Amino acid sequence: MTRSFIQLWTRAEFEIWKSEPNTPLIYAASNQFKQRGITKGDQLFIVACFSDALHLMGCLRVDKGVLDAVAAKNLLPKNSHTWARDYVFHDQSLNTRMRFDLQVPKGALSSFSFADGSVPKFKGDTTSFVPDPQTFRGVRELSIDTANNLARLLGVNQTPRNQVASAEPEKIRALSIRQPYAERILRGDKKIEYRTWPTTHRGKIYIYAAKTPVQLPGHEDPLDPLKLPRGVLVGTVEIVNCKKGEKYFEWGLKNPIRFNPPRSFNAFPQAGYFYPFGKSN
């Protein structure tokens, strides 16, 4: 499922973009997008905090996942500076324009919360809900209710086109992948799955995070697999090609989508492909 984040822009950035008439929402830059696990389909609310108000500038729907400065350079507007490590680009099919006239009202601020359960700090009298800019620094994940409130203020559709809106599970196959590699696929870091056997399947599959984690010698990962979900479906990804490499078959992967929370099932998982919700419709 889609996750929602908030990013604080400076007042100077607010004023610069405001000076450009009919400004389209194109991209955002940070040193924290990859660290936060942002991936394709997630949404990023852009805000600025000044003059005792939280200004809601727009909602960016992540189109390509997190790109580094080199990959992003050709996609950025002319004369843009690649000052950050991470870049995300807005789905331009949504044709979103930035807002400079919208302040988050006190009612929404009073119920504002982050995904970890913490709430913002306010300056002076807490009953006045004057936002403290320090609260919103960096990139932070939002609670579902807060994301919904901000989306309503912007008039944003909360059912992205790549999100499963129905609770009815799709009867597609799953692939068993050990942690932390299942997490790396969801983050967009791992774009090739190496197998000893080829696959003719093309299209979406579930990612099943196997119960037994692994750390391959010589390929140690800083992610702790014991702290990652295991024994559940953690998301989906598309298999787009398969070719023979020097030692293994290389399955090309694209468009990972994370489930939040992960999904359980009753079928017995297999080492390769299996159908967690049955094969027939």
In this structure, the number of other CB atoms found within 10 A of the CB of residue 226 comes to 9
CB 195 within 8 A of CB 243: no
Q: For the whole model, what pTM was predicted?
A: 0.57
Residues 255, 239: Cα–Cα separation, whole Å? 9
Residue spans of alpha helices (H) in 22-171: 69-72, 106-110, 144-154
Domains of the chain: residue spans and CATH: 4-154 (3.10.590), 174-274 (2.30.130.30)
DSSP class of residue 211 equals S
Could you read off the pLDDT of 181-232 as tens digits, one per residue?
999 999 888 999 999 999 999 999 999 999 998 876 666 678 888 888 999 9
> Any bridge partners for residue 59, and if so which?
45
Query: Can you give the three-state secondary structure of 218-277, one letter per residue?
Result: CCCCCCCHHHCCCCEEEEEEEEEEEEECCCCEEEEEEEEEEEEEEECCCCCCCCCEECCC
Q: Determine whether 97 is exposed, middle or buried from the number of CB atoms within 10 Å of its CB (0-12, 13-18, 19+).
A: exposed
Residues 260, 4: Cα–Cα separation, whole Å? 11
Alpha-carbon distances, residue 169 vs 97, 177, 277 (angstroms): 35, 20, 7
Residues 173, 51: Cα–Cα separation, whole Å? 53
Alpha-carbon distances, residue 168 vs 13, 164, 263, 277 (angstroms): 43, 9, 12, 10
Output the tens digit of pLDDT for each of the chain's 281 residues. Answer: 679 999 999 999 999 888 876 778 999 999 999 999 999 999 999 999 999 999 999 999 999 899 999 999 989 888 787 889 999 999 887 778 889 999 999 888 988 999 888 889 888 766 778 999 998 999 999 998 899 889 888 886 554 433 333 345 678 999 999 999 999 999 888 999 999 999 999 999 999 999 998 876 666 678 888 888 999 999 999 999 999 999 999 999 998 988 877 888 888 888 889 999 887 64
Q: Determine whether 142 is exposed, middle or buried from the number of CB atoms within 10 Å of its CB (0-12, 13-18, 19+).
A: buried
